[in-house]
Amino acid sequence: MSHKKLIWQIFPPFLIIIVCALLAITWTISRELSSFQLRQATSDLEARAFLASKQLTGNMTLANQATVDRLCKELGKSTATRLTVILNDGTVIGDSENSPGQMDNHSNRPEITQALQGHIGTATRFSQTLRQNMLYVAIPVFEQDTIVGSIRAALSIAKLEQTLSKITLKLVLGGLIVALVAALVALAVSRRISRPLGELQKGAERFAKGDLEQPLPVSAVTEISGLAEAMNSMAAQLDERLRTAIRQRNEQEAVLTSMIEGVIAVDTDQVILRINAAAARLFNIDIDNAAGRHIGEVTRKVDLHRFIVSTLTSSDPIEAELTLLHQGEERYLQAHGAPLRGASGQKIGALVVVHDVTRLRRLENLRRDFVANVSHELKTPITAIKGAVETLQGGAVNNPQDSRQFLGIASRQIDRLNAIIEDLLALSRLERDAEAAEIDCAQENLQPILASALQSCATIAEMREVQVSLFCAEELTACVNAPLLEQAIINLVDNAIKYSDAESVVTVEGWQDDDQLKIKVQDRGQGIPEEHLPRLFERFYRVDAARSRAIGGTGLGLAIVKHIVQAHNGEVTVHSTLGEGTVFTISLPRLPVREDSNNGIV
């Protein structure tokens, strides 16, 4: 279908109507005018013929032809009319324009025939005599109630026709001017209608492109202004809805982005609809190129694929635990899947939410191990005590030497139990205080702390014939909790002495390295095999459990050291070479750590 501009729909029909109306009016007027003129001329000619008949009364005979003809010529001249006098036999006896003798018998002329029958005869025809179109009016002439002849008045209708065509021309010209003016008015009216419609069209195109803020101009035409107002209100509503939709989308986006849980939404063909940053991180997916792609294209985690398929086939929410290898480490994910439903309740995909429970799992394992370890550690001295008591009960109590021996065993094992419980309590206190950030630190002189720790180990050092040396500048200070730090140094020095041979040397050194305080405890003992180093600071971890127990170790000393150092926002490292010895190094920040960076958690 061809599209025409509104102006071309309105303007041509308008123009055709105007032109047709004007043509009809012109034609009707000119016809009416022509018949009016003819009627006027006829009655005029009739009157003139009557006037002439008055003057010719009594002369209507062939004998008076000369008089009649003269009168005719005089009257014809004075009235500018052709006058012809005809006797009732058709003989012309006078004519204002011609000589009657040369004129043929007029009885067969229709107007004469009518007149001689007593009527007023009229006719319009071409005159052979005058060689032009003529209007003839003939009246009967009576003498004593007898028709003696007829007088005919004639007028050239060429003049009438000329006048008529002049009037018609003027009418046509006037009509054309009116048509032109009407056409211009029609054009203006069409424009007035089409221009606001054009603006509406442009506005609608703007709306379609999303520019909903600029309203459409309101036209003076009621219907168009109604349409513009309706479209403006539609645009305002649309704008409002769009803003709401954008706001909701941004809110959703913010919620999804800030979620720790990974969220993946797929359609029924497993094509990703939405994915949040946490899920992208967990499954190693490029978040920017994920939407619109099949899940199998962006990640090869088989467990996840299976779970998505199960969610898509199930009509109820499902749960499962996924295990995946992420950067060489096993990760445990708790996954929840639910069908995604459209507005009418039909299934349009699946929503999967995964929660990384790896840390929880590790903690659970740690706790389990810890409980097992504690039970095991406690069980050993308890078994020994029980054995000693039973032996005593079995009769050994009666032998003073045996009694002393078994009571000694029981007492040592009770000391051991006590040491383990003390260490466990110290650890849990440390953990609790570190969590609550309740470790009180003050700017302390380091040298006295180290000296005091060495003093505490002096007896065992002497017993084992190990020499302990201290190197520390007196003015060295740091922000520490003195009793805790002393405890950590005691544990390290105690180990260094215990795991050194007699006459060996243990060195304790303190120094400043930039804004860090360093404390080094070095022995020249047997050293620790490398494979044990990563787990050395775990609770109850021992390189040689039997030896450790034999020399009174609880397996908690290094765990306590680690916790004390961490409570100071520092770190402890170990370097060991088999047969050469071991070096433990503590690094602490010298200045107080700001509250908001406590334990590195902001």
The residue ranges that bind ligand ADP (CB under 6 A) are 491, 495-496, 499, 523, 525, 528, 536, 541-544, 548, 553-559, 582
Closest Cα partner for 452 from 487, 415, 405?
487
Asked if residue 478 lies in contact with residue 443, where contact means CB atoms within 8 angstroms, the answer is yes
Shortest distance, position 335 Cβ to ligand ADP, whole Å: 39
Closest Cα partner for 290 from 302, 268, 274?
274
Shortest distance, position 486 Cβ to ligand ADP, whole Å: 16
Pairing of strands 318-326, 467-472: unpaired
Q: Toward ligand ADP, which CB reaches closer, 85 or 572?
A: 572
Return d(Cα 533, Cα 541) in angstroms, integer: 10
Shortest distance, position 359 Cβ to ligand ADP, whole Å: 24
Closest Cα partner for 498 from 552, 450, 540?
552
Shortest distance, position 394 Cβ to ligand ADP, whole Å: 32
Closest Cα partner for 471 from 509, 417, 442, 441?
509
Q: Toward ligand ADP, which CB reaches closer, 191 or 520?
A: 520
Taking each helix axis as running N to C, give the angle between helix 65-79 and helix 6-56, from 0 to 180 degrees, rounded to the nearest 10.
140
Shortest distance, position 538 Cβ to ligand ADP, whole Å: 9
DSSP 98-129: S-GGGS---TTSHHHHHHHTTS-EEEEEEETT
Q: Toward ligand ADP, which CB reaches closer, 262 or 555?
A: 555
Q: Toward ligand ADP, which CB reaches closer, 308 or 558?
A: 558
User: Residue 601, exposed/middle/buried by CB under 10 A (0-12, 13-18, 19+)?
Assistant: exposed
Return d(Cα 543, Cα 532) in angstroms, integer: 7
- The C-alpha angle with vertex 42 and arms to 37 and 46, in degrees rounded to 5, equals 150
Q: Toward ligand ADP, which CB reaches closer, 340 or 506?
A: 506
Structure letter (DSSP) for residue 108: T
Q: Toward ligand ADP, which CB reaches closer, 357 or 419?
A: 419
Shortest distance, position 386 Cβ to ligand ADP, whole Å: 23
Pairing of strands 477-480, 467-472: unpaired
Return d(Cα 471, Cα 466) in angstroms, integer: 17
Q: Toward ligand ADP, which CB reaches closer, 80 or 578?
A: 578
For residue 260, the SS3 value is coil
Asked if residue 187 lies in contact with residue 11, where contact means CB atoms within 8 angstroms, the answer is yes
Tokens of 386: 């029980």
Q: State which H helix or E strand residue 580 sits in.
A: none
Shortest distance, position 371 Cβ to ligand ADP, whole Å: 18
Shortest distance, position 532 Cβ to ligand ADP, whole Å: 7
Q: Toward ligand ADP, which CB reaches closer, 155 or 528?
A: 528
Asked if residue 520 lies in contact with residue 508, where contact means CB atoms within 8 angstroms, the answer is yes
Q: Toward ligand ADP, which CB reaches closer, 389 or 551?
A: 551
Tokens of 152: 């005919």
Q: How many CB atoms lie within 10 A of CB 343?
A: 6
**Count of residues for the chain?**
602
Shortest distance, position 399 Cβ to ligand ADP, whole Å: 34
Q: Toward ligand ADP, which CB reaches closer, 285 or 485?
A: 485
Shortest distance, position 260 Cβ to ligand ADP, whole Å: 34
Q: Toward ligand ADP, which CB reaches closer, 553 or 570?
A: 553
Q: Toward ligand ADP, which CB reaches closer, 569 or 582?
A: 582
DSSP 452-487: HHHHHTHHHHHHTT-EEEEEE-TT-EEEE-HHHHHH
B/e letters for 545-565, b = 16+ CB within 10 Å, e = fewer, are eeebbeeebbbbbbbbbbbbb
Asked if residue 90 lies in contact with residue 112, where contact means CB atoms within 8 angstroms, the answer is yes
Shortest distance, position 575 Cβ to ligand ADP, whole Å: 11
Shortest distance, position 428 Cβ to ligand ADP, whole Å: 16
